[in-house]
């Protein structure tokens, strides 16, 4: 009998290398905190294609639907560049996201003090930063109909004679479910949500604002809620990002704002993410955790990869899937301590120097801490 079920999908490139370090961390929690994980491992991406001829086997998909959380490394690599579109490694990940209906994408931007000088901004703006962007992931302008590129022949004024169309479309239900996710997350953090849209120029933005407010007033009156136009939000993220706790926004704005926020913290090797779906029978959301970085074929197999993004993704699983907030805090503090001690994988090595370590040594240091 096991408390938490976890499916590990290491994937391709540096995926298996960084995942090996997460395994050490899991082992530590099992031995020292008595946590019981039922861990299974399977193939995704190019690794799955090599074995099954497709980037995600049906059995793996079925397993992902049953576990409390999926932890994924990375998929893809040059070896698979010429494959048919439907067989590409990335399709394996997209299938997971789609069939699990993961509508809330979580991208934290957390700045560890030891790395504050890595930021694109000044230390005094980012030191201690800890915000979470919740992006709606399954709807909006990326999916709305009608869409397409059409001839615009009846319009002689239009040089070139074509028109490109996308539709921003949100239902109240789609907005409410991602708003609900954001409020739930805020309760486990700073209890503050800022919703971003363009209600000044977009009908979907007006609906967005009304529905987020509705969820707040009816279900989460104790969480502080504010609204901001997304353009102002972009400015505020760069001017004073620490004013935020949780930001909830649509698919398009979330895409842009989360990339901007990522650069507040420095290296790609540090950024975790989570994608959450509807609550299952046990009350836990369907969930997939993964580092933001890709398979990094240029450094794969050399022991150079930074495992911290993947380890912090596991910390998110502890917090959001397993309700082990204290363990998540402790793991993040261990990462912080190791960085403060000057331990550095190559991607984190700045002008001030430090102790150079391999992927595996970084995992050992964090586990010791
Ligand atoms: P994808 O298309 O899968 O997002 P990508 O080509 O955009 O992949 P990554 O695979 O994320 O990019 O790699 C981008 C750069 O960042 C590479 O030079 C890679 O070496 C570096 N990089 C990515 N992840 C890490 C990591 N964990 N540690 C160290 N360097 C990394
Ligand atoms: Mg990329």
| 98 a catalytic residue | no
For the purposes of burial, counting CB atoms within 10 Å of the CB of 77, is it exposed (0-12), middle (13-18) or buried (19 or more)? buried
Distance in Å, CA 12 to ligand 1 centroid: 12
Could you tell me the distance, in angstroms and rounded to a whole number, from the CA of residue 347 to the centre of ligand 2? 16
Å from CA of 328 to ligand 1 middle: 25
Looking at 142, 152, 187, 364, which residue is catalytic?
142
Q: Which helix (H) or strand (E) holds 38?
A: strand 37-41
Q: Binning pLDDT at 50, 70 and 90, where does residue 119 land?
A: confident
Ligand 2 centroid from CA 293, angstroms: 7
Report the alpha-carbon distance of residue 342 to residue 60 in Å, rounded: 40
Residues 22/51, Cβ–Cβ less than 8 Å: no
**Binding site residues for substrate, as ranges?**
97, 107, 135, 231
Q: How many CB atoms lie within 10 A of CB 115?
A: 23
pLDDT of residue 15: 98
User: Which of 81, 268, 269 has most ligand 1 atoms within 8 Å of its beta carbon, as the pocket-test mutant?
Assistant: 268
238-258 residue pLDDT tens? 999 999 999 999 999 999 999
Q: Is the pLDDT of residue 1 over 50?
A: no
Give the tens place of pLDDT for each residue, 166-189: 999 999 999 999 999 999 999 989
On the question of a cis peptide bond just before residue 22, with omega within 30 degrees of 0, the verdict is no
In the numeric block, which tokens belong to residue 189? Answer: 């953090």
Residue 353 pLDDT: 85
The ligand placed nearest to the CA atom of residue 309 is 1
pLDDT for 132 equals 96
Strand partners, 290: 273
At 320, list the tokens.
């959001």
Binding residues for NAD(+): 77-90, 294-306
Mutate to test the pocket of ligand 1, among 293, 295, 311 (most ligand atoms within 8 A of CB): 293
Q: Is 89 exposed, middle or buried (0-12, 13-18, 19+ CB in 10 A)?
A: buried
Q: Would residue 12 show up in a list of annotated catalytic residues for this protein?
A: no
Q: Is 355 left (phi over 0), alpha (psi -120 to 50) or beta?
A: beta
346 CA: nearest ligand 1 atom: 29
Q: Is 142 a catalytic residue?
A: yes
Q: What is the pLDDT of residues 163-172, one digit of tens each?
A: 999 999 999 9
Sign of torsion over alpha carbons 21, 25, 30, 36 = negative
Provide the ipTM.
Answer: 0.94
Strand partners, 165: 148
- On the question of a cis peptide bond just before residue 146, with omega within 30 degrees of 0, the verdict is yes
187 labelled catalytic: no
Residue 366 has pLDDT above 90, yes or no: yes
Confidence of residue 301 (pLDDT cuts 50, 70, 90): very high
Backbone angles phi, psi at 88, to 5 degrees: -60, 145
Model confidence pLDDT, tens digit, residues 190-215: 999 999 999 999 999 999 999 999 99
CA distances to 131, 135, 201, 210, 211 from 229, rounded to whole Å, are 18, 15, 10, 14, 15
Active site residue 231: yes
Please tell me whether residue 228 adopts helix, strand or coil conformation. strand
pTM of the model: 0.91
CA angle 111, 21, 5 (to 5 degrees): 95
């Amino acid at each position: 009998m096991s408390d938490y079920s976890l499916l590990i999908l290491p994937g391709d490139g540096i995926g298996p290398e960084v995942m090996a370090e997460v395994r050490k961390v899991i082992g530590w929690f099992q031995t020292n905190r008595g946590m019981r994980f039922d861990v299974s491992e399977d193939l995704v991406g190019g690794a799955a294609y090599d074995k099954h001829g497709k980037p995600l086997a049906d059995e793996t998909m079925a397993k992902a639907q049953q576990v409390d959380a999926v932890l994924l490394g990375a998929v893809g690599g040059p070896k698979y560049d010429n494959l048919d579109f439907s067989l590409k490694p990335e399709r394996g990940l997209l299938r997971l996201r789609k069939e699990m209906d993961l509508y809330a994408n979580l991208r934290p931007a957390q700045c560890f003090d030891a790395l504050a000088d890595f930021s694109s901004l000044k230390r005094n703006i980012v030191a201690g930063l800890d915000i979470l962007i919740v992006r709606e992931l399954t709807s909006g302008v990326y999916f709305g109909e009608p869409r397409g590129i059409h001839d615009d022949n009846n319009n002689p004024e239009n040089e070139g004679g074509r028109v490109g169309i996308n539709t921003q479309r949100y239902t109240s239900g789609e907005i409410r479910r991602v708003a609900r996710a954001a409020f739930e997350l805020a309760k486990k953090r700073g209890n503050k949500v800022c919703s971003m849209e363009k209600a000044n120029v977009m009908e979907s933005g007006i609906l967005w604002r009304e529905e987020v407010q509705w969820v707040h007033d009816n279900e989460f009156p104790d969480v502080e809620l504010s609204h901001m136009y997304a353009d102002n939000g972009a400015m505020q993220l760069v001017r004073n990002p620490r004013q935020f706790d949780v930001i909830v926004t649509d698919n398009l704005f979330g895409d842009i704002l989360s990339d901007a926020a990522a650069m507040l913290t420095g290296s790609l090797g540090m950024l975790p993410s989570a994608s959450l779906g509807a609550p299952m029978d046990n009350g836990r959301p369907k969930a997939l955790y993964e580092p933001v970085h890709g398979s990094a074929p240029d450094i794969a197999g050399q022991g150079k990869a930074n495992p911290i993004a993947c380890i912090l993704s596991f910390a998110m699983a502890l917090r959001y899937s397993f309700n082990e907030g204290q363990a998540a805090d402790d793991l993040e503090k261990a990462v912080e301590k190791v960085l403060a001690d000057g331990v550095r994988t190559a991607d984190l090595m700045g002008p001030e120097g430090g102790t150079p370590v391999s992927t595996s040594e970084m995992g050992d240091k964090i586990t010791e801490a």
